[in-house]
Amino acid sequence: MLRLTEYEEGVLAGKEGRLKQVSLQNIVRYAKILGAAELCEVTKATVFCGAHNYLDVCRSEDIDEVFSRMNLAVEESIPFDRTYGNSYIQSCVSPCDQDEHEPFGQSPEFFAKNALYLEQARKAGVIIIGSCAPYLTGWLPVRGEHFVTTESSVTLMGNSLWGAMGNSDGIEAAFWSAICGRTPKWGNHVEENRAGTHLVEVQAEIDGILEFDLLGRAIGMRLPSGAVPVISGRFGSVTFQKLRQLFTSLAVSSNCEMSHVVGHTPEARTVEDAFRGREPAGTLMIDERAMVESYQAACDPGAGEIDLVSLGCPHYDIDQIKRVAVYLEGRRVHPGVHFMVWTAYPIKAMADLNGYTRIIEEAGGHIYTGSCPCTIGPTFLDKYSGCVFDSVKQAVAVKSETARAVYLGDLQRCIDAAVAGRWEEEHRWPRSR
């Protein structure tokens, strides 16, 4: 039986308008499906704004109708004109760069349509950031804070690294919560569900960012549904950049929403700490062979001509952009290659300030903001015959969108390929160590 507060009953009765009423009705339906006993207040949210490709099925140019049918799941037209006042709400990626459309083969009309969607969200109270890495701009839920997010890696980071509480939910539910300020108190919103369930013994040597990325996929592809892995291994240096790459590929290859990394995440000072005294339901071993399989599943075999190199999934921080500039300085991107680095808008401003943008542009590359290749979609990707990425998530997602060659490497090997205009056997992991 779902218990509701007086405030929630009032919202359901329509005291705060139709938008909030429908949003809470959806949250209540969702809570009953999950079997939640109560709701909890959401004080951090990211939402998925923009004229995204999947919305095309609605076959309508009426922005309110599209929002209502696709995000609120109702046939009536309800304007998206407000959000919950007590939440810090910012936008995730949209299908457009924040400034340019021509480099992506998008029409001015489509760019304007996307801008209209973003402007509607801004007026409703969403801070337009356009990033899958909301933490780069200060969106950081703390321990015990209930959050919703449209970015799967942020669900894992929020729960695992910051001790905050969130589920993967979905794009529709993130809007519902951002509007009515509630989510079902279920799953990771309940303290006792955060204990580890499965031990992951990592026997492979893991050090570089790409290796943490491959490790996430290797674990995710073997993890039972609903598991909370406790990852234990002798890693090289562990940094935020590495952990976020681990969580990103783990998230996209499983339904994992929380993971402990022994010695590095706060609820896993030891293995026993992470399991909270319970016995593991199973044990996974990740050896070098599993890592190689993980790489081979995300990187096409052989060598070949390439014409797209994209870095920054999740969006790069300023340190990663600096590393691109330092490695690229004095070199030239092959004239046939579109070399792009993706980040959040304020980070691009910092790259401008530090001179990194100038170095990258003088080399023939670009820094873009607000989106990424797989979010822009097939209309953009179909223009290219060979793509190189520094992220398992991007490589795997793009592979489902295109029959073209897709290669995966670390930052340096991706830049080497961009300069050469070719992906070579020698760029492949693990030779790139």
Partner 1 sequence: MAAITLRGCGVVAGVVEGEALVCPTSIQGWGGIDPATGVIKEHGHVNRGVSIKGRILVLPGSRGSNGWSCYFGAANVAGAGPLGMVVTRIDSSVGVAAAVMQVATVVDFASNQDPCRLIATGDRVRVDGGSGVVEIVKVAATPGTDARGQEAAEKRSLGPQNALGGAIRRPRSRT
Q: Give the range of 220-228, 260-268, 332-340, 413-421 binding partner 1 by CB under 8 A.
A: 220-228
Q: Which is nearer to partner 1, 171 or 303 (CB)?
A: 171
4 to 33: interface string for partner 1, x by CB under 8 A:
----------------------x--xx-xx
CA distance 247 to 229: 11
Task: Say if CB 160 and CB 260 are below 8 A apart.
Answer: yes
> Which residue, 124 or 132, has its beta carbon nearer to partner 1?
132
Residue 156 Cβ vs partner 1, minimum distance, rounded to whole Å = 10
Q: Which stretch binds partner 1 (CB under 8 A): 12-20, 118-126, 151-159, 421-429?
A: 151-159
Is 144:163 a contact under the CB 8 Å cutoff?
yes
Tell me if 255 contacts partner 1 by CB under 8 A.
yes
Please give the DSSP secondary-structure letter assigned to residue 367. E
Radius of gyration, CA atoms only, the chain:
22
The answer to whether 155 contacts partner 1 (rule: CB under 8 A) is: yes
Residue 1 touching partner 1 (CB under 8 A) = yes
DSSP letter string over 212-268? HHHHHHHHHTTPPTT--EEEEE--S---HHHHHHHHHHHHHTS-----EETTTSTT-
Of the residues 87, 167, 232, 343, which one makes contact with partner 1 according to CB under 8 A: 167
Quote the CA–CA distance of 70 and 49 in Å, as a whole number: 12
What is the helix, strand, coil percentage profile of the chain, to 5? 45, 15, 40
In sequence order, the β-bridge partners of residue 38 are 3
Q: Does 246 bind partner 1 (CB under 8 A)?
A: no
Note whether 171 binds partner 1 by CB under 8 A.
yes
Residue 151: name the closest of 130, 126, 137 by CA.
Answer: 130
Q: Which is nearer to partner 1, 100 or 401 (CB)?
A: 401
User: Which amino acid does the sequence have at 87?
Assistant: S
Pick from 5, 9, 14, 73 the residue near partner 1 by CB under 8 A: 73
Among 215, 231, 374, 411, binds partner 1 (CB under 8 A): 374
Q: Quote the least distance from Cβ 197 to partner 1, whole Å.
A: 5
Taking CB under 8 A as the criterion, the residue among 96, 202, 252, 274 binding partner 1 is 252
Region at 312 (left for phi over 0; alpha for psi -120 to 50; beta for the rest): left
Query: Taking CB under 8 A as the rule, does residue 281 contact partner 1?
Result: yes
Beta carbon nearer to partner 1, 281 or 326? 281
Q: Among all chains, which residue has been given the structure tokens 């598991």?
A: 227
Binding segment for partner 1 among 6-14, 146-154, 204-212, 310-318 (CB under 8 A)? 146-154
Alpha-carbon gap, residue 174 to 155, rounded angstroms: 12
* Beta strand extents in 157-226 (DSSP E only): 182-184, 198-202
Q: Which of 23, 90, 150, 391 binds partner 1 (CB under 8 A)?
A: 150
Residues that bind partner 1 (CB under 8 A): 1, 26, 29-30, 32-37, 48, 54-58, 69-70, 73, 149-152, 155, 167-174, 184, 186-187, 190, 192-193, 197-198, 222-228, 251-255, 257, 281-284, 297, 374, 396-397, 399-401
